[in-house]
């Protein structure tokens, strides 16, 4: 089984879970001169994983990586929304072009399943609640536009070439190992550092889902023939505003947070996604999936992990 983006947040959890389930895992790691394997460099299962160093933007790398793989879990992507304002071309090149390379390589290798990772950001601000898989797509940032493009090229390979694909669409996954560009590590690390919590807009709502729930969804999707050709949301079905989230995290930590607005963290008004709330009915009916870990339980585990790894973060710096 090939996992692209295996050194990242969700990818490392998925790779470890697949190994624990008895799978032979090849981890596609973005080449770097230090030979760093991301979070898998710190994994107790590192020796049980085959590593492939390359770049999804290089088609030859993709052909070599997919050779002999029956399943491809595609998670590699550029994901930071603020940075997509600065470098939109790199998002098109990586998220669309890189996905195309993997699709062509997967078709050549006759893979049994191609699971492509989308994002709830492709929906933009909700036009109707809850958001089903039929909700219109809205590219409110260069990042989300690049993911819409990637989703559609995946869909086209199923319809044009009968490649067995599924588009997996997680809502706001959180948990241990998440980078500081995400809101939950941002809030927790600032509270742990004893500083005021600097945020952008506090009114947008998000549907937050613990990482093990998302990984459950990947595994159930890979085992289901009914999921071929489908796009499937993985969300909790619960929404919370960013401001209320900060208060909830403070409650979990036993701290009353001082929250301040930091203008540099504010997104352009028309680009900010104001509301996300998933319908997970399709995942439940098709896969028998539902989130097992609640928001509060997930926050407790995330706080504990960040407490033990605070030295890896810079709470006083806005991570673009």
CATH of the domain at 101: 3.40.50.720
Q: Is the peptide bond before 140 cis (omega within 30 degrees of 0)?
A: no
* Dihedral in degrees, nearest 10, Cα atoms 267, 269, 272, 278: 160
CA dist., res. 142 & res. 271, Å (int): 9
For the chain, the residue count is 320
pLDDT tens per residue, the chain (320 residues)?
999 999 999 999 999 999 999 999 999 999 998 889 999 999 999 999 999 999 999 999 999 999 999 999 999 999 999 999 999 999 999 999 999 999 999 999 999 999 999 999 999 999 999 999 999 999 999 999 999 999 999 999 999 999 999 999 999 999 999 998 899 999 999 999 999 999 999 999 999 999 999 999 999 999 999 999 999 999 999 999 999 999 999 999 999 999 999 888 999 999 999 999 999 999 999 999 999 999 999 999 999 999 999 999 999 888 87
Whether 27 is in a domain gets the answer yes
Whether 11 is in a domain gets the answer yes
Whether 251 is in a domain gets the answer no
Whether 87 is in a domain gets the answer yes
CA dist., res. 64 & res. 15, Å (int): 19
* Domain count within the chain: 1
Q: What sections of the chain are H helices per DSSP?
A: 9-20, 59-66, 81-86, 88-91, 98-109, 142-161, 183-192, 211-222, 242-253, 281-287, 295-308
CA dist., res. 170 & res. 7, Å (int): 18
Domain that holds residue 18: 2-175+210-237+277-292
Whether 256 is in a domain gets the answer no
Whether 320 is in a domain gets the answer no
Whether 281 is in a domain gets the answer yes
Whether 199 is in a domain gets the answer no
């Amino acid at each position: 089984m090939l996992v692209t983006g295996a050194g990242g947040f969700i990818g490392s959890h998925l790779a470890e879970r697949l190994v624990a389930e008895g799978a032979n895992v090849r981890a596609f790691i973005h080449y770097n001169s230090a030979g760093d394997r991301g979070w898998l460099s710190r994994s107790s299962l590192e020796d049980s994983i085959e590593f492939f160093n390359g770049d999804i933007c290089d088609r030859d790398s993709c052909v070599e990586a997919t050779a002999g793989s029956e399943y491809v879990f595609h998670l590699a992507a550029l994901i930071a929304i603020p940075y997509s304002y600065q470098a939109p071309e790199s998002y098109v090149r990586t998220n669309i072009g890189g996905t195309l390379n993997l699709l062509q390589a997967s078709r050549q290798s006759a893979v049994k399943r191609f699971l492509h990772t989308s994002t709830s950001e492709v929906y933009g601000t909700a036009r109707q609640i809850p958001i089903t898989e039929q909700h219109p797509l809205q590219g409110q940032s260069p990042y989300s536009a690049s993911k819409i493009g990637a989703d559609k090229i995946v869909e086209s390979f199923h319809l044009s070439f009968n490649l067995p694909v599924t588009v997996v669409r997680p809502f706001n996954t959180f948990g241990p190992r998440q980078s500081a560009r995400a809101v939950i590590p941002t809030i927790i690390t600032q509270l742990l550092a004893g500083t005021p919590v600097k945020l952008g807009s506090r009114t947008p709502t998000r549907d937050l889902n613990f990482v093990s729930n998302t990984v459950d969804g990947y595994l159930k999707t890979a085992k289901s023939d009914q999921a071929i050709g489908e796009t499937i949301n993985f969300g909790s079905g619960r929404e919370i505003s960013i401001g209320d989230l900060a208060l909830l995290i403070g409650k979990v930590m036993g701290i009353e947070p001082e929250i301040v607005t930091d203008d540099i963290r504010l997104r352009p008004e028309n680009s900010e996604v104001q509301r996300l709330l998933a319908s997970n009915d399709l995942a439940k009916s098709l896969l028998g999936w539902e989130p097992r870990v609640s928001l509060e339980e997930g926050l407790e585990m995330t706080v504990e992990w960040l407490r033990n790894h605070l030295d890896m973060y810079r709470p006083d710096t806005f991570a673009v």
